Amino acid sequence: AQTVTQSQPEMSVQEAETVTLSCTYDTSENNYYLFWYKQPPSRQMILVIRQEAYKQQNATENRFSVNFQKAAKSFSLKISDSQLGDTAMYFCAFMKPPFQGAQKLVFGQGTRLTINP
Amino acid sequence: NAGVTQTPKFQVLKTGQSMTLQCAQDMNHEYMSWYRQDPGMGLRLIHYSVGAGITDQGEVPNGYNVSRSTTEDFPLRLLSAAPSQTSVYFCASGSQRYNEQFFGPGTRLTVL
C-alpha cells in the first residue's frame, strides 16, 4: 500500500520569505500523480499544484513550485514571496493511475504553515 | 456551477442515532468519494463510486453505508453513530479527463 509522509507538523515564516514543505511517499508504481492541497481556516480543500510522475519537468503555479525527485520519492512544495493568505494546512497526496475509474487519493498527515506579518 | 455541495455543515448526534450526510455535484463527474479528516492523520478514504449504481469500500468503511442512484448525488449514511465517528467529512468528485478531484466544504460531525 502507498504511504505519504509529511515530516514537518508545523512551520512558521515571515511574510515575503520563501518556505519549503517536505513530502515523501512510498510506492512500487512507476506512473502516478502527486498533489498539494491547501486547507485554510475555512476548511475548504483547495488544489494548489499537481505533478504527473512521467513528466520530468517540475510543475509551477505562480508563486508555488515543486521539487519532484522520483528516485528519492520526494515531492516538496516551495512557496515564494509568502503572503498572509498562504497561512493554512497543507496536505501532500498521492494517486495511482485510475483503475476502472477509481481515483483514490492517499494523504499525508499535513503541515500547518503560519505566515507572520 | 455550484461545484460540490455538502449538507449539513455541522451536526451533533447522540450515540446510536442514524443520519445521512448529503453530497451533490453538478460537474457531471463520474467519480465521487467520501473522506474523513481526523487530527494528525490527514484525510482517509471511506467509500467511493465510479458511476451510478457502482460503489466500493475505501480504507475506513466500517460503520458507513453509501449508495449512488444518480450521477449527481452520493449520500453517506451512519446507521448507528459512535463517538469514534466524530470527525470532519469531505465529499469529492473527480474528472476522469484531468485526474483531479474537487472537494466540498465539509461537514463537522460530533457524536456524544
Least Cα distance to A7 among A86, A72, A74 occurs for A74
User: Higher-confidence residue: A46 or A1?
Assistant: A46
pLDDT in tens, A81-116: 999 999 999 999 999 887 777 889 999 999 999 999
Confidence (pLDDT) at B99: 78
pLDDT of residue B1: 74
Average model confidence (pLDDT) across chain A: 94
A89-93, B52-56, B92-96: segment of lowest average pLDDT: B92-96
Which three three-digit cell numbers place residue A67? 521539487
pLDDT at B98 over 90: no
- What is the rounded end-to-end Cα distance, in angstroms, of chain A? 41
Dihedral-angle region of residue B16 (phi above 0 means left; psi in -120 to 50 means alpha; beta otherwise):
left
C-alpha cell of B107?
A: 461537514
Contact B102, B45 (CB under 8 A): no
Q: Nearest C-alpha of chain B: how many angstroms from A76?
A: 17
Q: Do A43 and B105 touch (CB under 8 A)?
A: yes
Is residue A45 within 8 angstroms of chain B, CB to CB? yes
Q: What are B11-35's pLDDT values in tens digits?
A: 999 999 999 999 999 999 999 999 9
Rounded CA separation B39/B34 (Å): 17
Average pLDDT, chain B: 94
Q: A44 at the B interface (CB within 8 A)?
A: yes
Residue A99's pLDDT is 77
Contact partners, residue A22, CB within 8 Å, separation at least 6: A6, A7, A8, A74, A76, A111
